[in-house]
Amino acid sequence: MNKKVIILIIVVIVILLIIGGIIINNKQNNKSTNNLDNNTSSNDTNNNEESTNDDNSKSVVIYFSATGTTENVAKTIASVTNSDIIEIEPKEEYTSEDLNYNSDCRANREQNDDSVRPEIKNKFEINEYDTIYLGYPIWWGTNPKIILTLLDNYDLTGKNIYLFCTSGSSGIETSEKEIKEYNSNLNIISSKRFSSSTSENDVKEWLNN
């Protein structure tokens, strides 16, 4: 075998070794890139899950309404806040005679008797909620006694509570004070009185503030 053939064989072998090294190096780079992409995708998924978890806070509007005025405001709040809504239904419904404040009506008797706790007909689950909008009409300057029934039967401790009421003239301050004294562990964030002509903008203004 002459010298030229030997040199040619050596050159071919070197070229093959170089090509083989390049192929192996590319495979390793691709593997690293894939691992990086997988890690990035995994991190993105985790971040999305964390973001979703942060947005998982649930809210509910719980209200008592004997004439429908508070119900209208409750539905507006539920719509604006994208909350679930639960009506407090008395076992014995209130008639127009029960609400005739100029007589010895049922509402008057209940409000004048600190021991009265009107029974709630429906049962509901509130453990899943972090925020509660609690609404009611103002009777004799404060909340109806059925709201105290609610506090007796449901644990609102640890919830963010927003009180709202409807009334022709009385404010919510006396009611808020009574509820805080009744259960000092409640975390009442804010309270607001609304009238029968409350608009969606009125609700948004309260919530934004």
Answer yes or no: do 34 and 92 share one domain.
no
pLDDT confidence of residue 57: 76
5 pLDDT above the threshold of 80: no
Which has more confidence, 57 or 185?
185
| Residue 78 CB partners (closer than 8 Å, separation 6+) | 61, 84, 85, 133
Confidence of residue 65 (pLDDT cuts 50, 70, 90): very high
Residue tagged 């947005």 (tokens): 55
Q: What is the C-alpha to C-alpha distance for residues 160 and 191, in angstroms, rounded to an integer?
A: 12
Locate 183 and state its tokens: 């259960």
Q: Residue 161: name the closest of 60, 37, 74 by CA.
A: 60
Which has more confidence, 14 or 83?
83
Q: What is the C-alpha to C-alpha distance for residues 92 and 1, in angstroms, rounded to an integer?
A: 115
In the chain, % helix, strand, coil (3-state, to 5) comes to 45, 15, 35
pLDDT confidence of residue 107: 95
79 pLDDT above the threshold of 60: yes
**pTM surpassing 0.85?**
no
52 pLDDT above the threshold of 60: no
Last residue of a domain, one of 31, 56, 81: 56
Answer yes or no: do 42 and 129 share one domain.
no
Structural domain count of the chain: 2
Amino acid at 156: L
Answer yes or no: do 81 and 164 share one domain.
yes
pLDDT confidence of residue 44: 45
Last residue of a domain, one of 9, 28, 56: 56
Q: What is the C-alpha to C-alpha distance for residues 97 and 169, in angstroms, rounded to an integer?
A: 21
53 pLDDT above the threshold of 80: no
- Please state, for a pLDDT cut of 90, what percent of the chain lies above it: 66
Q: Is 60 helix (H, G, I), strand (E, B) or coil?
A: strand
Alpha carbon distance, N-terminus to C-terminus of the chain: 96
Answer yes or no: do 30 and 107 share one domain.
no
| Residue 74 CB partners (closer than 8 Å, separation 6+) | 61, 63, 65, 85, 87, 133, 135, 164
